[in-house]
Amino acid sequence: MKLMISLLCILLFVGCQPAPKVEKELTTDFEGSITYKLLEWDSKDMDSARAVGMRALGPKDSLRVLFKEGSFMSIMDSSTIDYSYFNPHLNKYYTRLAGDDSVYEDPGDVLTEAGNFLLDTRLEYNTDTILGYVCNRLIMKYKFSTKTYIYSPEIATNPEWYKHSKVYYFDVMYKLMKAYYLGMRVDHRDYAYEVRAISVIRSELPDSVFPDPKQMLIHTSWQ
């Protein structure tokens, strides 16, 4: 199950005490939405039943991600997941399953994918152009996988939002990119997939677009 949930949370996601709220420092901090299209899915040599389960966790075709002051929420056309939501101010990652009123909570200071440790990172510059944005690449090499993020400095975010967030190595990822990605490829030993942005919309978002943790029926991690 831990391997299966990694597919969802990539597309997307300070201890037990809430992290102190980070004051917004970048005037260019991206606010709005990005829509991504799934370009490729390869289950490699995975057995058919496991491949079907893995595939069901991701989007059927696309996903839309909302961004505001460090928080982001991924809304998928998935039969399994309603949304995933990361709140850096609480340093919590929330997942709501389709057809379930419950929301599952994971602490942001715990590494996901136990055993799939980060081994190396590398930056490459001026490698791609997506939707007119000149992009760089961040390549993160793990024990069992390689993840390549294609990002533009114009889609900026403040790495201070994530400096306490060990979940999916957000602290390392955003410290290096200082931006949200427009394209991403995952090459795991068991599967591979790629997503690419098809729409970037800058707009002010009301706080109400994000779930209120105080109103959630919360369970501990389902991983």
Q: Which domain holds residue 88?
A: 2-19+29-220
Give the CATH number for residue 40.
Answer: 2.50.20.10
pLDDT at 25: 47
Domain count, the chain: 1
> Mean pLDDT score of the chain, rounded to an integer?
81
What average pLDDT does the segment 42-48 reach? Answer: 64
* pTM of structure: 0.81
Domain assignment present for residue 83? The answer is yes
Domain assignment present for residue 87? The answer is yes
pLDDT at 12: 44
pLDDT at 47: 55
Percentage of residues of the chain with pLDDT beyond 90? 51
Domain assignment present for residue 126? The answer is yes
Domain assignment present for residue 24? The answer is no
Q: Which of 13-17, 113-117, 211-215 has the highest mean pLDDT?
A: 211-215
Domain assignment present for residue 101? The answer is yes
Mapping DSSP onto H, E and C, the string for the chain reads CHHHHHHHHHHCCCCCCCCCCCCCCCCCCCCEEEEEEEEEEECCCCCHHHHHHHHHHCCCCEEEEEEECCEEEEEECCCCEEEEEEECCCCEEEEEECCCCEEEEEECCCCCCCCCCEEEEEEEEEEEEECCEEEEEEEEEECCEEEEEEEEEEEECCHHHHCCCCHHHHHHHHHHHCEEEEEEEEEECCCEEEEEEEEEEECCCCHHHCCCHHHCEEEECCC
Asked whether residue 213 carries a pLDDT value surpassing 70, the answer given is yes
